[in-house]
Amino acid sequence: MTTTRRGTKVLNLGKDGAPLLRRTGLLGMVRSLRVSEVGGRARALVAAKAGNGGEGEYDYDLFTIGAGSGGVRGSRFAASYGAKVAVAELPFATKASLTEGGVGGTCVLRGCVPKKLLVYGSEFAQEFEDCNGFGWDKFDKPNHSWASLIESKNNEIQRLTGIYKRILDNNKVELIEGRGKIVDKNTVEVDGKTFTCKNIMIATGGLPFVPNIPGKDLVITSDDALDLPVMPKKIAIVGAGFIAVEFAGIFNSFGADVKLFFRGDKILRGFDEEVRDFLTEQISEKGIEVTPKTVPVEVVQGEDGRKGVVTSAGGDVEWFDEVMYATGRAPNVEELGLENVGVETTDRGVIKVDDYSRTNVPNIFAVGDVTDRINLTPVALMEGMAVAKTLFNDTPTKPDHEYVASAVFSQPPVGTVGYTEDEALEKFGTLKIFTSSFRPLKNTISGSTERSFMKIVVDSASDRVVGVHMVGQDSAEIMQGIAIAVKMGATKADFDACVGIHPTAAEEFVTMRDVTREVAKELTPAA
């Protein structure tokens, strides 16, 4: 692609896929050169002129569809590099649909943030129980107003959507309210109005997926669960991933009877096996009913407004106030106009991208959950920033998906970074495994039976720590610091050389000296 705008730089891929920098001179002469060949001075000059807007053949240098985490971050970084940027987003609503969404996206409006607020709210229940052991008079648990919590949560997400709008505004990113649809590779339509653009970034995220079973319309998803008018006393949650396990903890702590239905044999597929087993024990101990290999075949409406779950054809009906499905999320690509430009997707609608988040259409990029790489907010931020750098800062940047830490805000929470034992065994061949399970100091007199579990996975050959996992209080906070060391390539000897902070749970990570076991991959004998 070339541009007629004077002094504007455009990045394209050469035949070998390496980015090319094109610079249009005053006389309209176009010179192509490898980005790596561009000297610092030229780079600064070009960057200064990048996307100065207004005089070109396009309305925008970048048009982003979706103002969630990846879209906002990518847009504002692009604008900070001098690009003229617009972002289309639907009007605000707590529940997302084809016609409603809101600036901030899933994480801010109906995901991470409101979920964590509900986690905080629910955790007081345990604190009320724990305090007796520390000499506080025994007292009846105070009443909780679900309606008041939801109102506070809604006020907060309204505040946050306002902040996100201001971030766009302060960075001179134009917000266009409405549904963005790609008309051709340089045109986006928003509710009947068309805009031209040099590049498009799709950042439309995902929507809850509910399998097609009879009674599907009766169930709620995480969007609804975060905005229920009344706290259910008894709830069925279907699924065993992040969302299912987190909401099971929230409703359980608020006093609901919670039954988890899932098709696999353990919760949290993809996590370390010992973490899965340990968390199952802990949540079962708290009263969450864990039912593996059991999923509803039908959901029925009761006369009293309750919903019935049937788990085998012709089987008994079990009644609940709500049935929540947390069976994954599907990429939000409906009515996006991908077919108009031939952007390739998988059968599930996931947009296929290369290492630079570029689709098969060279000027169209996609970031975040719509690309189904690692579906986490900080990853979408990284991907959005990388696109902005690649396009507008003369720095072709691949997002780095290795050693991304994550947490499940279950109760107790899970923190993890790097490889599970099984993955590490497959990749590295021989491992030293260090584990520790203990009763946290607080629980020695709180009366709580909750325990913590920690695990370090070490590649025997290099001594590098390649996986760290924890189930227990503060594990998410602890893991963020550990993740820096793991990402930097710390060895077990480095961990051992670090002096602990006493008395904390975290110090256990630098004091585990005894190898729990050594494991080696069984080699298939050569034929």
Binding positions for NAD(+): 239-246, 328
**Least distance (Å) from ligand NAP to the CB of residue 108?**
13
3-state secondary structure 240-283: CCHHHHHHHHHHHHCCCEEEEECCCCCCCCCCCHHHHHHHHHHH
* CA distances in angstroms from 87 to 57, 199, 256, listed in the order given: 19, 12, 41
Task: Give 446 or 475: the residue with its C-beta nearer to ligand NAP.
Answer: 475
CB 9 within 8 A of CB 20: no
Rounded CA gap, 371 and 362, in Å? 16
Rounded CA gap, 354 and 398, in Å? 9
CB 67 within 8 A of CB 74: no
Provide the CA 274 distance to its chain's centre, in angstroms.
23
| Amino acid letter, residue 379 | V
Task: Give 246 or 322: the residue with its C-beta nearer to ligand NAP.
Answer: 246
Task: Give 289 or 463: the residue with its C-beta nearer to ligand NAP.
Answer: 289
502 is catalytic: yes
Rounded CA gap, 512 and 514, in Å? 6
Q: Among residues 144, 401, 469, 502, which one is catalytic?
A: 502
**Least distance (Å) from ligand NAP to the CB of residue 280?**
13
Give the tokens for residue 372: 């189904």
**Least distance (Å) from ligand NAP to the CB of residue 273?**
14
| Contacts to ligand NAP by CB under 6 A | 211, 239-244, 246, 262-264, 269, 295, 326-329, 375-376, 406-409
HSE-CB of 352 using CA atoms within 13 angstroms = 9
**Least distance (Å) from ligand NAP to the CB of residue 226?**
11
Give the tokens for residue 209: 């997926």
Task: Give 263 or 451: the residue with its C-beta nearer to ligand NAP.
Answer: 263
Which is it for strands 19-24 and 30-34: parallel, antiparallel or unpaired?
antiparallel
How much of the chain is helix, strand and coil, in % rounded to 5?
35, 25, 40
Task: Give 269 or 521: the residue with its C-beta nearer to ligand NAP.
Answer: 269
Which is it for strands 234-238 and 206-208: parallel, antiparallel or unpaired?
unpaired
Rounded CA gap, 93 and 103, in Å? 10
Rounded CA gap, 431 and 520, in Å? 6
Task: Give 239 or 337: the residue with its C-beta nearer to ligand NAP.
Answer: 239
CB 72 within 8 A of CB 103: yes
Using Cβ positions, the residue closest to ligand NAP within the complex turns out to be 241
Give the tokens for residue 82: 């001098």
Rounded CA gap, 333 and 249, in Å? 31
Task: Give 189 or 369: the residue with its C-beta nearer to ligand NAP.
Answer: 369
The dihedral through the CA atoms of 425, 427, 429, 434 has a sign that is: negative
Query: Per the annotation, where are the binding residues?
Result: 116, 180, 239-246, 328, 369
Q: Which residues are known catalytic residues?
A: 502
